[in-house]
Each structure stands twice: as C-alpha cells, then as structure tokens.
C-alpha cells in the first residue's frame, strides 16, 4: 500500500521541478514580463480618440501636418490599435490620407 501513495518520478523526461507553459524558457526558468503573475506591473492606459476629445467632425485632406501624424515613415497608414483613434474617425482619416495622396500632398511610399 505505501507504494501507491508515493508519486512516481517521470521516466526519461524533464525533472519534476521544471516549469512548463508559455512563460517557461528552455531550461524551465520564467521569463520576465509575461505570465499570469505579472499582470499588475505594466499598466497600459486606454488610448482616447484625438478627434473625439477635440470635437473634430471633418478631417480635412489639405491639413498635411495633421495627416502626417497618422502615416508611418514608410508611407503606410498607422492602424487604430497604435494611434488610439476610434473606428469612425479612422475611416475618415484613411479617406483623407488617400485623397491627399492622390493630389500629391502626401507620398504613397518613400524610396529606400
């Protein structure tokens, strides 16, 4: 009977004290910044739409300074999750950027 209550060691596998899962490294140590225990360390503020807070309804395609803030260095339109713009304003912003590109106020892409 005592043999049944003892836990058997894994055969041919990793030692039982080694952790496994998404946060475990190749040797079982935990990587910093990830995992369920580190949720409270890095708190990211919710991004607020710039156009909603400033009560801007129409996004003018001629305002190149405004539009350049939403275009990446290579000429791509920056996504919502990075800029924090709401869905409706992102659509209007995209339309304004495309209009500005068509009349050569903004570049389509940069040369590399």
Tokens representing 10 are 């894994």
Averaged pLDDT, 17-37: 59
Quick one: pLDDT band at residue 36, thresholds 50, 70, 90?
low
Q: Helix, strand, coil shares of the chain as percentages rounded to 5?
A: 30, 5, 65
What band does 27 get if pLDDT is binned at 50, 70 and 90?
low
> Where exactly are the structural domains of the chain?
50-102
* CA dihedral sign of residues 92, 88, 59, 110: negative
According to the model, what pLDDT value does residue 110 have?
79
Give the predicted TM-score (pTM) of the model: 0.60
- Does the domain at 50-102 match CATH 3.40.50.300? Answer given as no
Q: What is the pLDDT of residues 69-104, one digit of tens each?
A: 999 999 999 999 999 999 999 999 999 999 999 999
């Amino acid at each position: 009977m005592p043999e049944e209550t003892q836990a058997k060691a894994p055969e041919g596998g990793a030692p039982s004290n080694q952790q496994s899962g998404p946060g475990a490294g190749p040797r079982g140590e935990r990587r910093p910044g990830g995992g369920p225990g580190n949720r409270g360390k890095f708190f990211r503020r919710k991004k607020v739409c710039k156009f909603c807070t400033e009560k801007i309804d129409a996004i003018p395609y001629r305002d190149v300074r405004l539009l350049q803030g939403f275009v990446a260095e290579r000429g791509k339109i920056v996504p919502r999750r990075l800029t924090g713009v709401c869905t409706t304003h992102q659509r209007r912003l995209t339309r304004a950027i495309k209009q500005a590109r068509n009349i050569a106020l903004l570049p389509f892409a940069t040369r590399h």
